[in-house]
A = this chain, B = another copy of it.
Amino acid sequence: MDHPIRKVALTGGTHGNELTGVYLVQKFLAHPELVQRESFETLCMHTNVGAIKQCTRYVDKDLNRTFTLEALNDYSATAYEDALSKVINQKLGPKGSDETAVDLVIDLHTTTSDMGLSICVSTKDPLTWQAIAYAKAQIPELNIFRWNGDTDDASFVSSIPPHGITIEVGPIPQGVLRADMFFGTEKVIQALLDFVELYNSGEAQSYTEVEIYDHVTLIDYPRNKEGAITAMLHPTLQDNGYAKVSKGDPLFVSLEGKDICYEGKESRYVLFANEAAYYEKHFSMCLADKKTIKL
């Protein structure tokens, strides 16, 4: 093992109204022994402090889209999150450096969508994927989503250091804590920290494959000329995360009660359906393939 992991950051409140991460960080700050291991240090911190105070997703813009190298090097942008991302990048990075302040970020998120316990990942970094495969082996109900999303470059908090993972759990309303999801998230964190300890001691098993949901496309709600939504997620897809849809299956129901069906030729899996924060981004759901990939 050439590069041990010496410092891990657990970050919460990147979206200020996703309380699970906010309160897990509060818990770990009060009980640091829960996230310490012998071979590395763990830093726990709130990221979007301004948004946490307001219990909003963000103050001016989505912090978790401000960590592209281009955005980090753009000093003309002066929104709260544009400035904050530079500060966080100094604390945890700087991104792209050979000597980042932390080696691994685990960023804690929730969604109103029925995603269960899930990890969102967009890096190709092999060690990150080994950590994910280890967590999946410990927690079989954990879902792995390879996000190839709405920005060209990696833009998440978790993209700052060489290794980075975003935990997404749901369904949880914004501004709400759910005990089951809180302790579920903690279980995923513990598995990831256990992996790092094993890796640092040279005892980590090497995984050769893992099952994932692989991002294909994002689709919007039906809208009218003024941009207002004219249909809702179909009841068959509500509370039914990772449902498989095939041509002719209903995706939406109009406000008037008419079904609107999936027209694609390929069957896909539905992820992130009815996430509150994606209404303004014009996403109703992500369509994904399910596959086992080689590591």
Contacts and interface: CB of A to CB of B under 8 A. Distances in A.
Interface of A: 23, 26-27, 31, 55-56, 112, 171-180, 182-183, 228-229, 232-235, 238, 253, 255-257, 274, 276-277, 279-280
Contacts of A26: 228, 255
Contacts of A234: 179
Interface-central residue, A253, A256, A276, by most chain B CB under 10 Å? A276
- Interface residues of A, dominant DSSP: loop
A232 B182 contact: yes
26 contacts: A23-B229, A27-B256, A31-B256, A55-B280, A56-B56, A112-B173, A112-B175, A112-B176, A173-B173, A173-B176, A173-B276, A174-B175, A175-B276, A176-B279, A177-B233, A178-B233, A178-B238, A178-B274, A179-B233, A179-B234, A179-B238, A179-B253, A180-B235, A180-B238, A182-B232, A183-B257
Contact of A179 (B31, B173, B235, B279): B235
A177 B232 contact: yes
Given A174-B174, A274-B176, A280-B55, A182 B112 contact: no
A50 B269 CA distance: 37
A145 to B, nearest CB: 20
Number of chain copies forming the complex:
2
Given A177-B229, A179-B235, 16 more contacts: A26-B255, A27-B255, A112-B173, A112-B176, A172-B173, A173-B173, A174-B174, A174-B175, A175-B277, A175-B279, A176-B276, A177-B274, A178-B232, A179-B238, A180-B235, A182-B232
Contacts of A253: 179
